[in-house]
Chain A
Amino acid sequence: MNDRNYGKINRTLCIRNMKRSMKDYLVYMLTMALVTALMYAFGSLIFQNELEQIALELEGLMGMMVGLATFFIMLIVAWLINYMVKFMLEKRSTEFGIYLLLGMKRKAIAVLYMRENMLLGGAAFVVGAAAGVLLRQVLMAVMSAMVRMEYQLRIAPDGRTLLMTACCYGGCYLLALLRCRRKFKKMNIHALMNARRCNEEIREKFEQGKQILLPLSVFFILLFWKMFGRLSDTLQTAGFLIGLVITIYLFYAGLSAWVICYVRRRGAAVYKGQNLFLLRQFASKVRTMQFTMGTLTALFTLALLGASFALMFSDYENTVLEGKFPFDVQIYSQNIEEDFAREKSVIEEEAAVSAYYPYHIYTDEENQVNTWMLTHLQAWGAMYRKADGTPDEAAIERTLLDENGDGTYYTYDTYMGLTDYNHLRELLGYEQAELSETEYLVQIKPRLEKEVQGIGEDLSVRNAAGDGFLTCAGVRAEPFSQDGHNGADYVVVVPDAVLDRMRPYYTELVVDIDGKTPFGLQKKLEALQPEEDPYAAGHVKGDLCCGSDTIISIVELCLVRENLMPSVKYMLATMIIPLFYIGLVFVCVAVTVLSVQQVSDGARYQYRYDMLSKLGLSRRAIERLILKQLTAYYLCPALLAVVISGRLILFASDRFIMMTGVPTAVGGFFGKSVALFFGIYLVYFVVTYVEFKRTMSSVVQN
């Protein structure tokens, strides 16, 4: 026996096959390299995250979120690899038949195929990992800019990240290849040899009946558009979402049956141009790939959702967040006699102070403003209203007066004197407010401005003597630190004389710092707070209340802007980055499947275009035909995904805008994510079209 020669030719075969596959499945290779690069770049945040120091309390959060995203990505990548390994196996069936004919054993063929795929995967991994090291620098630079930190370029691969990426990637490959071994065991030489000669199998059964699935799916999607958002409980929502998944899959069976029946009915469009060819082509492709098309639609939907949510948080960060901490330092104390001596000494040790401004927030021990807010703001819906629209006193009492209220509003309404108010406005660079002795104004969070325009008509704020009422001089909505410090959502500003009949409610200190605020001041100030965590056992009456912010609420007794801003931005990044990561990978994976399918079909069914050419169709007409065919095939899952995700994203955007006050139109996030999505889509589409045309050029005459 002499195995050396066999080994040598086997190696040659293996490497040449791999090179051919690389050429034939270039889009797949590029996607795998891209996925590796993304996996490395994002995965590195788990192991070497220099930014964690800015938010030590969030230590491990980014790792956890990226890890979670990586898990879902791995599932999809495993699906892609499995799909491609199976796909290539089918495309090369005749070749495997020849190996069997030459006397190669199934096991030897399986080993050869596995080796080829390992080399293929290895090549994509090496390219991807190298690109990943560079991509990581870009990612870290972007993140550093986001959290206002300087980033030093460090182009050196990290062993642990590399190992994790290799394990994820290799694991997916091994799983797919092991599944393939089973296929090799069942290989039938006769079927393999004949596979190439077989036409695409088009089983047309019960098409008339199946047609109904299309209008049914469309009806369900319309129903989903109408009903989603009005569903009252989780069970209903879950039911609708399950129905949606089923609809996605049945839609394609219905669509294909409908097109087939249309052609059979000899519809008018059948006789126009090359429509007959296009319709049949489209119907048979959708039929044979209906399950895959369904999965691609689901992936596109998830990608659009991911990108939209990422854009929402990103928008919040760029617009609303800047106004959340308008003062350099602001400290809250429940104690109305607090002099903040300890805090001042800590601040003075750390920074140059240009001014201190201590003041009180007052209360009249009533809750008419709180009640108004609870019964009028969109955020609360009908939670605090009875069926007839009148306030639900019991529910309001529960939330405001209970010992363990929910921390939304203070037990009593919050007031501020005009002098304090104007002093703070001066610090912030706002124009001074003017009030006569018979007027008051309401300072509100910017996002609530439109909702509270009618508040003055309903409030009855007594004057200094208590024998009359003040009139509302308007609503101000500049950023004013109203997550509990200058009131929760609102503060009513009254002439100083009115405060005489009120009692101080809590104390605030605003500090204006000269120059740069040192890193870590927030931590030092927090360390001065009592040891016990007031939030551990739920909200306690009298604690800081944050108002109606529900999606993102920042509740801190001490606010040090320059320390908190990066920390909150980092926290937002832990959501934005994994969501973008998921969206990007899902789109690339799904579009790769579409692309590989088309390019490979182009090569397999060259004769169809050859035949059209022989029938007299010009090269230009065939190219137009290919363009139409690819467009229909590419748009089909994308449009369905856009329609489905559209409803979910518009609903979520509406809520997000309402809850956070980002100044974006409801359709803005959806529009941006669709644009982003179609940008990537277009790149793959162009590559596929060029590749398809290149394949055709050998058979189609001018």
Chain B
Amino acid sequence: MSGYIRICEVEKYYGNANNVTKAIDRVSFEVDRGEFVGVMGPSGSGKTTLLNLLATIDRVTAGHIYYGDTDITELSEDALSEFRKDNLGFVFQDYNLLDTLTIEENIVLALTLQAKSREEIVEACEQILSLLQIGDIRDKFPYQVSGGQKQRCACGRAMVNHPRLLLADEPTGALDSRSAQTLLETFTDLNRQMEATILMVTHDAFSASYCGRILFLQDGKIFHELVRGTKSRRVFLQEILDVLSLTGGALSDER
């Protein structure tokens, strides 16, 4: 089978027989190894639902999601735990760090779950702390550091195991513009230096402009796709804004 991650005819319905909401409606696409994919769309378009399905947080109503040859829609709960541990990393808008552990311990926890040796853990942790430039706050607790630092710690925790896919849900949503830019540069570095495959859901065109490819979602369906290719980020941002104004314009014309 080809494709690093394949999403095939995925559907997700909510509600009951009388009141069905199609959150995701027959969506199919592929993500290649080392890609940095963005998912954009207005509120309620199904972005987070799609991310949750890929993240095994939620289950599909119909369709399949393949990571290589593994169809995660067929896995049991325990197998999914194993799968998440080995293949996925998460970064959320509200960081989701464990407040009783220090910044370093939050990263170490992810490594210890892999039952790695002490040397491996120390080495991997040092590497990621230095890559993300959070070594100086390693002994601090989450409440003692800024939002940007928390989010970089979340990135470190997500990436330290070299997951097959890093899933980010509005990662810049709670950050100021400077911290947001630093984080997006971190994602780019992770993508380039560690060949991390990233799927990021965002509202923000500026954040999306860091991606290599963008899927536009509306009413649970993919209605457009943009590929950055060799274009500069500035040009790509303009293209994104054009697509967004197109959807916004269509709505305006109706009024």
Contacts and interface: CB of A to CB of B under 8 A. Distances in A.
Interface of A: 1-6, 8-10, 12-13, 16-17, 19-20, 94-95, 97-98, 100-106, 189-190, 193
A19 B99 CA distance: 12
Contact of A12 (B82, B85, B105): B105
Interface stretch (B115-123, B174-182, B193-201): B115-123
Nearest to A1: B115
- The listed residue with most B CB atoms (<10 A of its CB), out of A1, A2, A5, A98, is A5
A98 B96 contact: yes
Nearest to B110: A102
Contacts, number: 77
B77 interface: yes
B57 interface: yes
Contacts of A6: 112-113, 115
Given A12-B101, A98-B98, A193-B57, A103 B116 contact: no
A8 B122 CA distance: 14
Nearest to A14: B100
20 contacts: A1-B115, A2-B117, A3-B115, A4-B118, A6-B112, A6-B115, A12-B101, A13-B101, A16-B101, A19-B100, A97-B96, A101-B90, A102-B85, A102-B113, A103-B84, A105-B78, A105-B81, A106-B77, A106-B81, A189-B56
Nearest to B58: A190
A22 to B, nearest CB: 12
A106 B82 CA distance: 11
A8 B77 CA distance: 26
Contacts of A5: 108, 111-112, 115-118, 121
A359 to B, nearest CB: 82
B105 A190 contact: no
Contact of B81 (A3, A4, A17, A103): A103
A94 B96 CA distance: 8
A543 B42 CA distance: 96
Interface of B: 52, 55-58, 77-78, 81-82, 84-86, 88, 90, 96, 98-101, 105, 108-113, 115-118, 121, 157
A379 B81 CA distance: 73
Contacts of B99: 20
Nearest to B59: A190
Rank and list the top 3 A-B pairs by shortest CB-CB distance, nearest first: A103-B85, A16-B100, A6-B112
Nearest to B120: A2
A167 B111 CA distance: 39
A350 B218 CA distance: 103
Contacts of A16: 100-101
A102 B109 CA distance: 9
A13 B98 contact: yes
B85 A2 contact: no
B112 to A, nearest CB: 4
A190 B117 contact: no
A101 B84 contact: yes
B43 to A, nearest CB: 14
A101 B84 CA distance: 7
B237 to A, nearest CB: 30
Contacts of A10: 112
B109 A13 contact: yes
Nearest to B86: A103
Contact of B100 (A3, A17, A100, A193): A17
A29 B115 CA distance: 34
Given A9-B105, A98-B96, A189-B57, A103 B115 contact: no
Contacts of A13: 98, 100-101, 105, 109
A639 to B, nearest CB: 39
A598 to B, nearest CB: 22
Contact of B84 (A1, A2, A12, A102): A102
A301 B88 CA distance: 54
A104 B113 contact: yes
Given A2-B116, A13-B98, A102-B109, 13 more contacts: A5-B115, A6-B113, A6-B115, A9-B101, A9-B105, A9-B112, A13-B105, A101-B57, A102-B85, A102-B157, A103-B81, A103-B113, A104-B81
Contacts of B78: 105-106
B115 A2 contact: yes
Contacts of A100: 81, 84
Contacts of A9: 101, 105, 108-109, 112
A20 B100 contact: yes
Contacts of B110: 102
B106 to A, nearest CB: 10
A98 B84 CA distance: 11
A95 B98 contact: yes
Nearest to A185: B77
Nearest to A15: B100
B15 to A, nearest CB: 15
Contacts of A94: 96
A6 B120 CA distance: 13
Contacts of B57: 101, 189-190, 193
A463 B57 CA distance: 103
A86 to B, nearest CB: 21
A5 B120 CA distance: 11
Contacts of A3: 115
A94 B94 CA distance: 11
A365 B229 CA distance: 124
Contacts of A103: 81-82, 84-86, 113
A17 B100 CA distance: 6
Contacts of B157: 102
Contacts of A95: 98
A19 B101 CA distance: 12
A189 B105 CA distance: 23
A6 B117 CA distance: 10
Nearest to B157: A102
A13 B121 CA distance: 17
Contacts of B111: 5
B152 to A, nearest CB: 17
A698 to B, nearest CB: 11
A490 B116 CA distance: 91
A426 to B, nearest CB: 79
A186 to B, nearest CB: 10
A345 B184 CA distance: 106
B10 to A, nearest CB: 16
Nearest to A6: B112
A5 B157 CA distance: 16
Nearest to B121: A5
Contacts of B112: 5-6, 8-10
